[in-house]
């Protein structure tokens, strides 16, 4: 299920970042924007009362003639357009400013769920200051202190109430038609070659392609008939050559990437090999890994690299994407098409493995053989193993004592090799069992 989007807007210094940090608590920002035009923008994942949502800190709003500020304003406008809920943060110690008024007018016309957050109400005595903002015509303001956490819980209750569609636990309920068609997200930073690759994938004369409405607002998916069966590529509008759309500020392409990862069963992580593995690539990879989706790493523009550079990039992958050690790495040129034919089979294998269940008897034989060849330190023993779940394959090991992480990785490797899980992430859980 795609997390809804909450945009935080307001003048500089009203406390937007403080509020976002308060909402997010100790959770880390998943996307750190490149140093931006005027300041960094960020998208963070948040959760309240069991609801997950994304929070975009838009950085500020200043409608002046200055080009830089105009750009910031455009981003805020964009945030308003895309958001499910908008938090307009104002400073209760300052009162209503002309800019607050102007933004409020825009928000009233946008017909969005808007909450006015009167910030810096650090104690009850200041609450009366907050009421001035009722004049903005956006409903009763929420007096909070982002700094001290005062009444931020009430605010979050109100935010969550306004989020669209209750979370549905049952995955299938959220799926559109064609539930059997596996969904694949093509993700990567701008300009790594996603569009070129996508068009190469569907450009083959034999391929049958049709667009279907996606599950997120305004999104289009493309279903492609492949030798491995149909595959649904999610959120492809920005990648179709004919309908190349302006994706706007980079953080929006990142929000979209995060949303498509959540909707997909597998991801193609496209990396521009000429630039090596960047920090942003690493962040996306972490996110794919956290979603538990199998991933195929695609090193694009490979044809432009000399031998030395190729070696360097491979070392980069080994070091920076070590946590995806199970993922296949394909070296391709989306431009010339070299290596592209390997993608669909790699994806097919990943998706297959993702849904696979292995026989319990055979699993236990594999685990016992692994222990025979190489017993766990300290006399620990796995007594029994079972696959508790698929999507991704999850194994429960009943052990006499805790197993060290290195030993778990060893067992994981043995299970992966024996059952040919390939690029699919596996989860191993250990339960203590006397014996």
Q: Which residues bind ligand GDP (CB under 6 A)?
A: 10, 12-18, 119-120, 122, 145-147, 188, 190-196, 239, 300-301, 303-304, 333-335
Nearest approach, Cβ of residue 380 and ligand GDP (Å): 47
Q: Which is nearer to ligand GDP, 18 or 278 (CB)?
A: 18
Which residue, 59 or 392, is less far from ligand GDP as judged by CB? Answer: 59
Q: What are phi and psi of 372, to 5 degrees?
A: -60, -45
Q: How far is the CB of 203 from ligand GDP (least distance, A)?
A: 13
* Long-range Cβ contacts of 175-178 (<8 Å, 24+ apart): 175/215, 176/212, 176/213, 176/214, 176/215, 177/212, 178/212, 178/223, 178/230, 178/232
Distance CA 188, CA 258 (A): 10
Provide the strand spans (E) within 301-419: 329-331, 382-389, 394-399
**Minimum distance, C-beta of residue 362 to ligand GDP, in the bound complex (Å):** 42
Q: How far is CA 192 from CA 155, 245, 419, in A?
A: 40, 16, 33
Can the peptide bond before residue 392 be classed as cis, meaning omega within 30 degrees of 0? Answer: yes
- Cα–Cα nearest to 122, from 142, 141, 145: 145
State the burial class of residue 255 (Cβ atoms within 10 Å of its Cβ: 0-12, 13-18, 19+). buried
Contacts of 264 (CB under 8 A, 6+ apart): 183, 184, 185, 234, 293
In this complex, which beta carbon is closest to ligand GDP, that of residue 234 or of residue 334? 334
CB of 117 to ligand GDP, least distance (A): 10
Where is 186: in which H helix or E strand? Answer: strand 183-187
Q: How far is the CB of 396 from ligand GDP (least distance, A)?
A: 40
Q: Report the residue number, 191 or 365, with the smaller CB distance to ligand GDP.
A: 191
The nearest distance, CB 350 to ligand GDP, in angstroms, is: 21
Going by C-alpha positions, the residue among 425, 289, 416, 290 that lies closest to residue 358 is 416
Provide, rounded to whole angstroms, the least separation between the CB of residue 378 and ligand GDP. Answer: 49
Residue given tokens 């093509």 in the structure block: 186
Tell whether omega for the bond before 326 is within 30 degrees of 0, i.e. cis: no
Choice between 188 and 422, CB closer to ligand GDP: 188
- Judge contact between 223 and 231, C-beta under 8 A: yes
Main-chain phi, psi angles of 65, to 5 degrees: -80, -15
- Which residues face 85 on adjacent strands? 6, 113
- Measured from the CB atom, is 92 or 324 closer to ligand GDP? 92
- C-beta of 194 vs 381, nearer to ligand GDP: 194
Nearest distance from C-beta of residue 151 to ligand GDP, angstroms: 10
Which CB, 186 or 353, lies closer to ligand GDP? 186
In degrees, rounded to 5, the angle at the alpha carbon of residue 108 between the alpha carbons of residues 102 and 114 is: 100
- Output the smallest distance, CB 129 to ligand GDP, in A: 12
Tokens of 349: 């294998």
Minimum gap (Å) between residue 101 Cβ and ligand GDP: 17
Pairing state between β 220-226 and 295-300: unpaired
Is the CB of 285 or the CB of 426 nearer to ligand GDP?
285
Q: Report yes or no: 147 and 20 within 8 Å, Cβ to Cβ.
A: no
Separation of alpha carbons 214 and 235, rounded Å: 7
Least Cα distance to 5 among 46, 51, 54, 50 occurs for: 54
Closer Cβ to ligand GDP, 151 or 387, answer by number: 151
Minimum separation from the CB atom of position 364 to ligand GDP (A): 45
CB-wise, 185 or 385, nearer to ligand GDP?
A: 185
Q: H or E segment at 431?
A: strand 427-432
- Cβ distance 87 to 131 under 8 Å? no
């Amino acid at each position: 299920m795609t997390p809804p989007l909450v945009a935080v807007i307001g003048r500089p210094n009203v406390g937007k970042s403080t509020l976002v940090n308060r909402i997010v608590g100790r959770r880390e920002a998943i996307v750190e924007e490149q140093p931006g035009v005027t300041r960094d923008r960020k998208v963070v994942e948040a959760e309240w009362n069991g609801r997950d949502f994304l929070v975009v800190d838009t950085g500020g709003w200043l409608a002046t003639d200055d080009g830089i500020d105009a750009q910031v304003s455009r981003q805020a406008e964009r945030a308003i357009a895309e958001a499910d809920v908008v938090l307009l943060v104002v400073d209760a110690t300052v009162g209503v400013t002309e800019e607050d008024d102007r933004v409020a007018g825009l928000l009233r016309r946008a017909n969005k769920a808007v909450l006015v957050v009167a910030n810096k109400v650090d104690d009850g005595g200041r609450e009366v200051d907050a009421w001035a903002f009722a004049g903005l015509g956006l409903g009763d303001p929420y007096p909070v202190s982002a700094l001290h956490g005062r009444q931020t819980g009430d605010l979050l209750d109100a935010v969550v109430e306004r989020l669209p569609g209750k979370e549905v636990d049952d995955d299938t309920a959220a799926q559109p038609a064609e539930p059997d068609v596996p969904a694949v997200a093509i993700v990567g930073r701008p300009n790594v070659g996603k569009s070129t690759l996508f068009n190469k994938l569907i450009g083959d004369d034999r391929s049958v392609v049709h667009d279907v409405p996606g599950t997120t607002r305004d999104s289009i998916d493309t279903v492609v008939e492949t030798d491995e069966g149909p595959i649904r590529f999610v959120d492809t509008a920005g990648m179709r050559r004919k309908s190349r759309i302006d994706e706007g500020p980079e953080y929006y392409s990142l929000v979209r990437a995060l949303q498509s990862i959540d909707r997909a069963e597998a991801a193609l992580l496209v990396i521009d090999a000429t630039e090596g593995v960047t920090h942003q690539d690493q962040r996306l990879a972490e996110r794919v890994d956290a979603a538990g989706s199998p991933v195929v790493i695609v090193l694009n523009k490979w044809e432009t690299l000399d031998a030395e550079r190729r070696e360097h990039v491979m070392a980069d992958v080994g070091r920076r994407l070590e946590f995806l050690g199970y993922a296949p790495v394909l070296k391709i040129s989306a431009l010339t098409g070299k290596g592209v034919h390997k993608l669909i089979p790699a994806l097919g294998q990943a998706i297959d493995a993702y849904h696979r269940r292995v026989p319990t008897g055979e699993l236990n034989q594999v685990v016992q053989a692994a222990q025979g060849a190489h017993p766990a330190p300290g006399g620990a023993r796995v007594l029994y193993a079972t696959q508790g779940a698929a999507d991704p394959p999850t194994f429960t090991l009943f052990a006499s004592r805790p197993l060290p992480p290195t030993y778990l990785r060893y067992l994981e490797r043995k299970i992966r090799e024996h059952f040919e899980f390939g690029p699919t992430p596996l989860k191993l859980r250990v339960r203590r069992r006397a014996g």
